[in-house]
Amino acid sequence: MLRRTLNLGILAHVDAGKTTLTERLLYAAGVIDDVGSVDKGTTQTDSLALEQQRGITIKSAVVSFPIDGVTVNLIDTPGHPDFIAEVERVLSVLDGSVVVISAVEGVQPQTRILMRALQRLDIPTLLFVNKIDRPGADPEAVLDAIEQRLTPEIVPMGSAAALGTRAAEFASFGPADAELAERAQAGELHPVFFGSALTGAGVQEVMEGIAQLLPARADGGDGPLSARVFKIERGPAGDRIAYTRLFSGTMHVRDRFDAGKVTALRVFADGDAVQRDEALAGEIARLWGLAEIRIGDWLGVPRGGVEHHFAPPTLEAVVTPTDPADGQRLRVALGQLAEQDSLIDIRQDDTRGEISVSLYGEVQREVIEATLADEYGLEVEFRETTTICIERPMSTGETVELLNTPTNPFHADLGLRLDPALPGSGVEVLFDVDPRDAPLYVFKTFESFREHMDEYVRLALEEGLNGWQVTDCTVTLTKIGYSLADGPPSRRGPMPTARDLLKLTPLVLLQALEQAGSTVCEPMFRISAEVPTDVVGPVLAALGRLGAGGATPSPRGELTMLETTLPAPQLQELRRRLPGLTGGEGVVESEFAGYQPVTGEPPIRKRAKPNPLDLDAYLAQVGR
């Protein structure tokens, strides 16, 4: 019999009620006998100690329940913007989603960011307007805001009554007709439900909506295996457990992959992760035994697709152990955290023996600090948080280095051209050489040569002229060549190894970049600040001093909205000053708005790797 599965994400801004709704759905499906509470730290999905202490979700968590013959694998995600990378991984494995919006706080910038990503990926989505029991709940205003700020393609499935009281309830307009169901399943329409995850109002209706209005899939598990790892957990013995969604094919216990051999497998079904011998397309499995697995890895045939749906982290900080003797342990601990945690990206500076961590914000920093203390017994300090800039090439640069010359002691010729590309386009590596010139005895195939060179170029672009990652450019390989032991006298000599090319690439590329010149750009944020109308003057003056161009005030009675754009460091400064300026009444919301050239002296980041533009020092450090 075919098993029908729906992999369902619950997404929303922080505190909208995702975890509480998850708990209610599990209860309604009969998977749990008591409804746990976020406030008491007793829910199924906020299972980490840190989540329970703080009352927020930090990691995505999978639970499963059956409805109408469908296995729903529900993934509860964190809503705090500091943990957006955790949501990023989950997006790629969803068949459908429920976006929760608080009936009191309404549509927030984070809601917009999530909804846009879901729409870009064509993920069918239901909306649940939660907290109708809370005083101030205004579902009509929320419906308007949804139409204006999220999508006009909405269909209210009922109305809410007895608002703002424990008796608040959802009155359904009746079951959806076949056409509505079809269009909702295709992601063209978004049915809207109202309710309260706390009291359970409207939950039964959403539950039915999940079964009827989202596309569950049935698959026999034929075809080649294609599966994606979206979460890694460590078991009690430190073993890695990989959460994997199968897109096609079948996976068995004892299957072998580059990352290791599957020693045990559990599939989410009937409210639990059940031990099985195989997992089929559509299902989510927990896999044991893959010692080398990392988040984002594919098992079997990879599927392409956009990887980045959200803004990158824009902050970083150097982490040091309080006890200098703990340096090595800290390195290992952070390395392990980075492997299992899509949020953590580390940069190791071997020259200074420092490690820095990229960050989305202060809450994430606190979580890393607490995790190192709780799980590794490591006490650490974070130095000042700084902004991560990028470098964009200003024009075209091209360099060719011939082998066995004073400026190129490596055994290969290499030519690279660097051209600027559109902002936001990332890095593209192209090949304009005769495949026969490539050292195929090292790389076997031209395809493999291209893959390696692509990687070397990207590594070399990690640190540009000012030490920042170079991006928004095209790099073209214009020349490749090497000598032969028995070649003509002018081209006779040792053949290159892969390491030769790894070390030569930064040397050539940075010279091309020096010719092209680079512009350092800083992350910008669109902000909207809501402040008491009587302090608009001082707030505008402060924004002016921070360099914000033309904030337009729009008064709404006692409160006024100010919208403008600010670079990341100035946004931090505004956040620090706003409480003082507004008597604690001001709120600022921000959304990443791309990079812009810094005004004034560009900041320089200390290089973590040897500088290829200082030839002698470079060669001394990397060795021939």
Ligand X SMILES: Nc1nc2c(ncn2[C@@H]2O[C@H](COP(=O)(O)OP(=O)(O)OP(=O)(O)O)[C@@H](O)[C@H]2O)c(=O)[nH]1
Residue numbers of the site for Mg ion (CB under 5 A)? 18-19, 57
Q: Quick check: 191 binds ligand X (CB under 6 A)? A: no
Compute the distance between CA of residue 368 and CA of residue 357 in angstroms, rounded to an integer.
Answer: 10
Compute the distance between CA of residue 588 and CA of residue 563 in angstroms, rounded to an integer.
Answer: 10
**Which residue from 5, 26, 28, 57 is in contact with ligand X, where contact means CB under 6 A?**
57
Phi-psi region of 109 (alpha: psi -120 to 50; beta: other; left: phi over 0): alpha
Sequence-distant (6+) residues with CB within 8 A of 256 are 262
Q: Which residue lies nearer to Mg ion by CB, 35 or 264?
A: 35
Residue that the structure tokens 């896999």 belong to: 287
Q: Which of 225, 242, 243, 215 is nearest to 281 (CA)?
A: 225
Give Dmax (Cα) for the chain: 92
With contacts defined by CB under 6 A, name the span among 9-17, 114-122, 145-153, 249-257 that binds ligand X: 9-17
Q: Quick check: 87 binds ligand X (CB under 6 A)? A: no
Please report how close the Cβ of residue 139 comes to ligand X at its closest, in angstroms.
Answer: 12
Please name every residue paired with 125 in a beta bridge, in sequence order, or none if there are none. Answer: 97
Which two three-digit tokens encode residue 146? Answer: 């949804």
Question: Are the CB atoms for 523 and 388 separated by under 8 Å?
Answer: yes
- When CB distances are held under 5 to 8 angstroms depending on the partner's kind, the choice from Mg ion, ligand X, none that residue 511 binds is none
- When CB distances are held under 5 to 8 angstroms depending on the partner's kind, the choice from Mg ion, ligand X, none that residue 205 binds is none
Q: Quick check: 198 binds ligand X (CB under 6 A)? A: yes
Q: Quick check: 134 binds ligand X (CB under 6 A)? A: yes
Compute the distance between CA of residue 339 and CA of residue 297 in angstroms, rounded to an integer.
Answer: 11
CA dihedral 217, 221, 223, 227 (to 10 degrees): 80
With contacts defined by CB under 6 A, name the span among 72-80, 284-292, 455-463, 558-566 that binds ligand X: 72-80
Q: Which residue lies nearer to Mg ion by CB, 108 or 466?
A: 108
Q: Quick check: 109 binds ligand X (CB under 6 A)? A: no
Which two three-digit tokens encode residue 354? Answer: 């420092």
Q: Quick check: 142 binds ligand X (CB under 6 A)? A: no
Please report how close the Cβ of residue 580 comes to ligand X at its closest, in angstroms.
Answer: 27
Amino acid at 10: I
Q: Quick check: 99 binds ligand X (CB under 6 A)? A: no
**Which residue from 26, 56, 378, 470 is in contact with ligand X, where contact means CB under 6 A?**
56
Q: Quick check: 11 binds ligand X (CB under 6 A)? A: no
Dihedrals phi, psi of 210, to nearest 5 degrees: -60, -40
Please report how close the Cβ of residue 55 comes to ligand X at its closest, in angstroms.
Answer: 6
Q: Which of residues 454-483 bind ligand X (CB under 6 A)?
A: none
Q: Quick check: 24 binds ligand X (CB under 6 A)? A: no
- When CB distances are held under 5 to 8 angstroms depending on the partner's kind, the choice from ligand X, Mg ion, none that residue 590 binds is none
Question: Are the CB atoms for 265 and 288 separated by under 8 Å?
Answer: yes
Q: Quick check: 80 binds ligand X (CB under 6 A)? A: yes
Q: Which residue lies nearer to ligand X by CB, 129 or 566?
A: 129
Q: What share of the chain is helix, strand, coil (3-state, %, to 5)?
A: 30, 30, 40
Which two three-digit tokens encode residue 314? Answer: 């824009």
Question: Are the CB atoms for 505 and 454 separated by under 8 Å?
Answer: no
- When CB distances are held under 5 to 8 angstroms depending on the partner's kind, the choice from Mg ion, ligand X, none that residue 39 binds is ligand X
Please report how close the Cβ of residue 214 comes to ligand X at its closest, in angstroms.
Answer: 20
- When CB distances are held under 5 to 8 angstroms depending on the partner's kind, the choice from ligand X, Mg ion, none that residue 130 binds is ligand X
**Which residue from 7, 196, 565, 582 is in contact with ligand X, where contact means CB under 6 A?**
196
Q: Quick check: 16 binds ligand X (CB under 6 A)? A: yes
Which DSSP string corresponds to 446-492?
HHHHHHHHHHHHHHHTTS-TTSSEE-SEEEEEEEEE--BTTS-GGGB
Axis crossing angle, helix 109-120 with helix 84-91, rounded to the nearest 10: 20
Q: Quick check: 20 binds ligand X (CB under 6 A)? A: yes
DSSP-derived pairing of the beta strands 559-567 and 473-481: unpaired
Please report how close the Cβ of residue 168 comes to ligand X at its closest, in angstroms.
Answer: 9
Q: Which of 87, 155, 148, 58 is nearest to 112 (CA)?
A: 148
Q: Which residue lies nearer to ligand X by CB, 103 or 480?
A: 103
Please report how close the Cβ of residue 385 comes to ligand X at its closest, in angstroms.
Answer: 22
Q: Which residue lies nearer to ligand X by CB, 115 or 378?
A: 115
What is the torsional sign of CA 519, 522, 528, 533? negative
Q: Which residue lies nearer to ligand X by CB, 170 or 247?
A: 170
Size of the site for ligand X (CB under 6 A): 22
Sequence-distant (6+) residues with CB within 8 A of 405 are none
Which DSSP string corresponds to 524-581?
EEEEEEEEEGGGHHHHHHHHHHTT---PEEEEETTEEEEEEEEEHHHHHHHHHHHHHH
Please report how close the Cβ of residue 203 comes to Mg ion at its closest, in angstroms.
Answer: 16
Please report how close the Cβ of residue 76 comes to ligand X at its closest, in angstroms.
Answer: 7
- Mask for 31-50, x = binds ligand X (CB under 6 A): -------xx-----------
- When CB distances are held under 5 to 8 angstroms depending on the partner's kind, the choice from ligand X, Mg ion, none that residue 51 binds is none
Compute the distance between CA of residue 553 and CA of residue 542 in angstroms, rounded to an integer.
Answer: 14
- Mask for 237-266, x = binds ligand X (CB under 6 A): ------------------------------
Please report how close the Cβ of residue 66 comes to ligand X at its closest, in angstroms.
Answer: 23
Q: Which residue lies nearer to ligand X by CB, 89 or 479?
A: 89
**Which residue from 36, 79, 467, 610 is in contact with ligand X, where contact means CB under 6 A?**
79
Show the beta-strand stretches assigned E in 173-291: 190-194, 217-218, 226-234, 240-248, 250-252, 256-257, 260-261, 264-269, 272-275, 278-280, 284-288
Which residue's Cβ lies closest to ligand X? 79
Q: Which residue lies nearer to Mg ion by CB, 82 or 401?
A: 82
Please report how close the Cβ of residue 21 comes to ligand X at its closest, in angstroms.
Answer: 7
**Which residue from 111, 130, 371, 483 is in contact with ligand X, where contact means CB under 6 A?**
130
**Which residue from 78, 109, 300, 467 is in contact with ligand X, where contact means CB under 6 A?**
78
Q: Quick check: 108 binds ligand X (CB under 6 A)? A: no
Q: Quick check: 15 binds ligand X (CB under 6 A)? A: yes
Please name every residue paired with 553 in a beta bridge, in sequence order, or none if there are none. Answer: 562
Please report how close the Cβ of residue 18 comes to Mg ion at its closest, in angstroms.
Answer: 5
Q: Quick check: 131 binds ligand X (CB under 6 A)? A: yes
Question: Are the CB atoms for 86 and 59 separated by under 8 Å?
Answer: yes
Compute the distance between CA of residue 406 and CA of residue 404 in angstroms, rounded to an integer.
Answer: 7
Residues that bind ligand X (CB under 6 A): 12, 14-20, 38-39, 56-57, 78-80, 130-131, 133-134, 196-198
